[in-house]
Amino acid sequence: MTLVYICHTMKNILKDTHEPVIAEQYHKLQERFDDECTALLDQCFYKNEKNTRVCLEINYVSLIHEHQCEMEDTVELMFVASLGKAQNFLAHPCCQRAIERRWQPGFKVGQISFLLYFFCPILFLRRGPQRLKRREHRVHGENNYGYSSRADTVWYRMYYFYTSPNSKYVIDIVSGCLRFRYIINMKRSHYSFLPPNYSLRFQDCAMSL
């Protein structure tokens, strides 16, 4: 995948220096390496899907600088593929499932179920016991520890749900709508002292913003 990124970078450099023939050669090499990486990913994916997903999420910066924990840089395989414009590689089902899982709030839910969980957090209590029964057996058989483990799992699940990209997107949309509605109400109250004709005109202008 590094070769795909190098070919893509060299192609852009040669295009800027008015070398279209050599740039086209690098473009063909980019597509060739992209196809070969996709074929290799396809074989690994069908042999062992779990290990292939783990390889996609390896942070190579942490492997190289294992003693420098303060580094926050992240270089994953899909990140390099996105920089190199490896479209076939990123379109593979393994990459698509990995991207979808990152957008999901810790557990897979449909669109309608997502909205229900988002606006009704009490539903997490109904979902919890189904997956917490196995974990309660791991504790030392005491009810107090089992109850605390169950409560912690529910709170962790709610935390990952509301910090997921899907939830952040909904929060941004809802907060934007509320701010927009607040501005409209403020403008309506500000121009309410004007005569009726002028007040209606200003309300129309506020609605058009």
Taking 60 as the threshold, does the pLDDT of residue 24 lie above it? yes
Residues 17/32, Cβ–Cβ less than 8 Å? no
- Of the pLDDT bands very low, low, confident and very high (cuts 50, 70, 90), residue 145 is very low
The CA distance from 109 to 131, in Å, is 15
**pLDDT for res 132:** 40
Residue 75 DSSP label: -
The CA distance from 38 to 46, in Å, is 12
